Amino acid sequence: MSQTTRMSNSRTTVLYRRFLWLSLLLACSAHGAALPVDLFILDAPPLTLVDSAKGHGIVGDAALMAIARVGYVAHIQALPWARSQKYVSEKQDLLIAPLSRTPEREDRFTWIAPIMTMDRAFFSLEHRVSSYAEAKKVYRVIGVGLGSAQEEILRTQGFSHEQIYPLTIGDNPAQMLLKGRIDAWFNGVPESEYIWPKVSRRKLLMSPVMSTVDLYLACSKQCSAELVQGLREAIEALRSDGTLARIRKSYLSQ
């Protein structure tokens, strides 16, 4: 990529961010005094970012725009991901994203709307597998995000407890893979492709996509019907007018 192209992309990203936050402010103003609501996210770029001048990630930015459109202002909260899920599910009117809608989670949350679809695959430095069955035979230890849907997917597919190694979500699994402490990393494709170049220049081998699941904005099991309906309509409006696609492109182009 030429320097001119990089500068152009950088300016485009900055302008987009300004447009995003201006939209949030205008949405809040249109609804009068904004009501507070807690939004639980985690550092899982490019999906969500807790504290970044560039924004809050694909799902984070989309959730914030939807929240503003229905007259609320989000207070970003960040706990360890498994703890966030437990806390939100047991309280009332708390929002959480991005959350995969899996059988184990189905009855614990109110599912508002999907924001994006995410593919998951195995990543390794030594062996590219083509199926879950092959992965069971080839990989002795597989890193997954602690509290992530990846952990649940592998258990459902019959992987042994000893094969599944939960690690703090972020670049920690990538670092462990680089050091040879795990044989593979089972993770979301966009997240892995975003993180890996920041960790190493070594070629990362990716399996075919093994799982495709929607990432949702969700709420506590006990959640205001008005809040749920408003957010559902707001997200669908963002999808229809192309905003969700533009948010996704702005992060993945980096």
pLDDT attached to residue 4: 46
What is residue 146's DSSP assignment?
T
Range of the domain at 68: 3-117+214-252
Residue 199 DSSP SS3: helix
In angstroms, the CA 235 to CA 240 distance is 9
* 110 and 171 together in one domain: no
pLDDT attached to residue 13: 52
Sequence-distant (6+) residues with CB within 8 A of 235 are 62, 66, 112, 113, 115, 217, 244
* 100 and 225 together in one domain: yes
* 24 and 95 together in one domain: yes
* 57 and 105 together in one domain: yes
Query: Containing H/E element for 117?
Result: strand 109-124
Identify the CA nearest to 98 among candidates 147, 59, 46, 58: 59
* 127 and 80 together in one domain: no
* 207 and 243 together in one domain: no
Identify the CA nearest to 192 among candidates 179, 212, 177, 213: 177
pLDDT in tens, the chain (254 residues): 554 444 445 555 545 554 554 455 454 444 456 789 999 999 999 999 998 778 999 999 999 999 999 999 999 999 999 999 999 999 999 999 999 999 999 999 999 999 999 999 999 999 999 999 999 999 999 999 999 999 999 999 999 999 999 999 989 999 999 999 999 999 999 999 999 999 999 999 999 999 999 999 999 999 999 999 999 999 999 999 999 999 999 998 86
In angstroms, the CA 187 to CA 73 distance is 31
* 36 and 156 together in one domain: no
CATH of the domain at 125: 3.40.190.10
Phi, psi (degrees; rounded to nearest 5) at 142:
-120, 120
